[in-house]
């Protein structure tokens, strides 16, 4: 691992933010805890996507497939009277295993075909959850045992668990960013054939990133399912969510260690504001945000050169943006 002083400082800032969030858990009310939990969850999903979409440059739309698989695994295992921790572990393992299988097939595709193939996994998974009544409860959904305790206690508990998962995702990203593995992924993003020629085991790197991403997403899904105590196919395998995740990362900055966090935080704040004020126009405003990000912040908050203190906007800001090759 290559660690210079700036990078260590960045890690420290990140961990301090997470620690601050953890301590504040005891002074937040239930609504704030709920928003915080969904922010932590989205941050995990964004970090998970960032490994494949940001570092490796593969436009994956399968994040929510793994999230849903994790949610259902958690529900099924918990309904077998297993402890909640066992269910979460099972969710992460199921996510990793299915990512391994799907990755081996899908990662041979590129560009549009990869994007569409990953969307198809979501559609197939949703249909299976809809129709395999015996296992998933079908379209009626699946009830999951509710955590005992007062609403405040349960809210705080899940907030802290989700936050711990976000810290884990952040640390995974930090490690990936500074090791040979991450370097290999960035090479794949820039030119896969060249990466293979300089001796990077392209297939193994790609599958490994996909598995890591799948396990993180599925773990988030597992915790989410335990928290809401009821899941249904439409909620667990949601197409809009699977496209929102890359948008959030784009909003923050792809292939960076803070991009996913900043993007999901911005997004949650915007989302809460829009939900509270324009409920009928929610999806339309979401669309406007997406279009706005693409035209005005194509490199994300971190990739955009903001006007300097003297008020000049560098004209060449756009040329310097990170690009994914698709």
- Which residues in this chain contact another protein in the complex, by CB under 8 A? 53, 57, 59, 105-106, 108-109, 111-113, 115-117, 119-121, 123-124, 127-128, 130-131, 239-240, 243, 246-247, 250, 280-284, 286-291, 294-295, 298, 323-326
Q: Report the nearest approach of another protein to the CB of residue 133 (Å).
A: 10
28/109 with CB nearer another protein: 109
Shortest separation between residue 195's beta carbon and another protein, angstroms: 17
Cβ(167)–Cβ(15) below 8 Å: yes
Closer to another protein by CB, 99 or 119: give it.
Answer: 119
Q: Are 189 and 205 in contact (CB under 8 A)?
A: no
Distance CA 111, CA 114 (A): 5
- Closer CB to another protein, residue 223 or residue 301? 301
Q: CB of 261: closest distance to another protein in angstroms?
A: 20
Shortest Cβ distance from residue 91 to another protein (Å)? 23
* Minimal distance, residue 170 CB to another protein, in Å: 23
Q: Which is nearer to another protein, 119 or 207 (CB)?
A: 119
Q: What are phi and psi of 62, to 5 degrees?
A: -105, 5
Q: Which is nearer to another protein, 160 or 297 (CB)?
A: 297
Shorter beta-carbon distance to another protein: residue 80 or 294: 294
Contact 158, 227 (CB under 8 A): yes
At its nearest, how many Å lie between another protein and the CB of residue 128?
7
CA dihedral 109, 69, 22, 254 (to 10 degrees): 10
Q: Which is nearer to another protein, 85 or 287 (CB)?
A: 287
Smallest gap, in angstroms, from Cβ of residue 68 to another protein? 15
């Amino acid at each position: 691992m290559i660690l210079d002083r700036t990078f260590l400082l960045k890690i420290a800032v990140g961990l301090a933010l997470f620690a601050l969030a953890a301590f504040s858990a005891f002074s937040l009310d239930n609504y704030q805890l709920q928003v915080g939990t969904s922010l932590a969850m989205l941050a995990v999903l964004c970090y998970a996507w960032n490994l494949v979409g940001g570092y490796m440059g593969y436009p994956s739309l399968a994040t929510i497939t793994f999230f849903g698989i994790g949610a259902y695994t958690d529900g099924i295992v918990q309904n077998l009277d297993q402890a909640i921790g066992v269910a979460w572990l099972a969710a992460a393992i199921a996510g990793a295993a299915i990512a391994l299988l799907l990755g081996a097939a899908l990662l041979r595709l590129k560009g549009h075909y990869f994007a569409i193939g990953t969307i198809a996994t979501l559609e197939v998974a949703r249909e299976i959850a809809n129709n395999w009544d015996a296992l998933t409860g079908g379209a009626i959904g699946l009830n999951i045992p509710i955590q005992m305790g007062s609403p405040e206690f349960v809210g705080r508990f899940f907030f802290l668990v989700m936050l711990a998962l976000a810290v884990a995702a952040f640390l995974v990203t930090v490690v990936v960013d500074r090791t040979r593995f991450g370097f290999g992924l960035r090479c794949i993003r820039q030119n896969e054939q060249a990466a293979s020629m300089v001796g990077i085991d392209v297939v193994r790197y790609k599958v490994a990133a996909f598995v890591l991403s799948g396990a993180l997403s599925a773990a988030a899904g597992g915790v989410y399912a335990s928290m809401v105590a009821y899941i249904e196919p439409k909620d667990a395998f949601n197409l809009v969510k699977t496209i929102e995740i890359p948008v959030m990362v784009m909003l923050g900055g792809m292939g960076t260690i803070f991009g996913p966090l900043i993007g999901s935080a911005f997004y949650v704040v915007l989302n809460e504001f829009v939900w509270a004020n324009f409920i009928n126009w929610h999806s339309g405003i979401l669309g406007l945000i997406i279009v706005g990000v693409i035209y005005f912040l194509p490199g994300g908050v971190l990739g955009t050169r903001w006007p300097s203190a003297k008020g000049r906007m560098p004209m060449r800001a756009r040329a310097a943006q990170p690009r994914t090759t698709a």
